[in-house]
C-alpha cells in the first residue's frame, strides 16, 4: 500500500508500536532515489522529524537507525474502510444508494440551536 502526503503512519521501533505521525512533506534528497520525509509526530508536545528514506521504506519496508529496526505502517481509519464498503455496494432500485445511512449533522446548525 502506497504511503503519501498527509497519511497517518504508525512508527514501529524495535518491532513494537512507538508513536503515530502524519506525513507532512516528501521532498527529493540530494542522494538520487532517496527522499526527505517530514513527519509531524503526534506526541505532546508535537514534534517534527525529518528522515531520509527510500521509497520502499516510506511504503513500509523495514530499515534500521543506529542498528535499531524501524518500520512505518500506514494507518487506515476503520470508518474510511466502512465508507469504502458502503460506497462500493450496488445501488438499490429506488436510487437511495446507502443502506442504513445516518443523518448528517452540521456543527453550524448545532450552534444556532443554542
Averaged confidence pLDDT in the chain: 87
80 belongs to a structural domain: no
106 belongs to a structural domain: no
Higher pLDDT, 37 or 107: 37
96 belongs to a structural domain: no
CB neighbour list of residue 30: distance below 8 Å, 6 or more residues apart = none
Could you tell me the residue range of the domain that residue 65 belongs to? 8-74
Domain total for the chain?
A: 1
Which grid cell sits at 96? Answer: 437511495
pLDDT in tens, 36-75: 999 999 999 999 999 999 999 999 999 999 999 999 999 9
95 belongs to a structural domain: no
* CA gyration radius, the chain: 20
Locate cell 444556532: which residue?
A: 112
Amino acid at each position: 500500500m502506497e504511503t503519501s502526503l498527509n497519511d497517518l503512519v504508525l512508527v514501529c521501533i524495535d518491532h513494537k508500536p512507538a508513536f503515530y505521525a502524519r506525513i507532512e512533506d516528501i521532498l527529493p534528497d540530494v542522494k538520487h532515489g532517496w527522499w526527505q520525509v517530514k513527519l509531524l509526530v503526534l506526541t505532546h508536545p508535537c514534534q517534527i522529524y525529518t528522515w531520509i528514506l527510500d521509497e520502499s521504506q516510506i511504503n513500509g519496508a523495514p530499515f534500521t537507525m543506529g542498528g535499531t529496526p524501524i518500520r512505518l505502517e500506514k494507518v487506515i481509519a476503520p470508518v474510511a474502510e466502512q465508507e469504502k464498503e458502503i460506497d462500493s455496494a450496488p445501488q438499490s432500485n429506488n436510487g437511495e444508494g446507502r443502506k442504513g445511512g445516518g443523518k448528517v449533522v452540521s456543527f453550524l446548525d448545532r450552534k444556532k440551536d443554542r
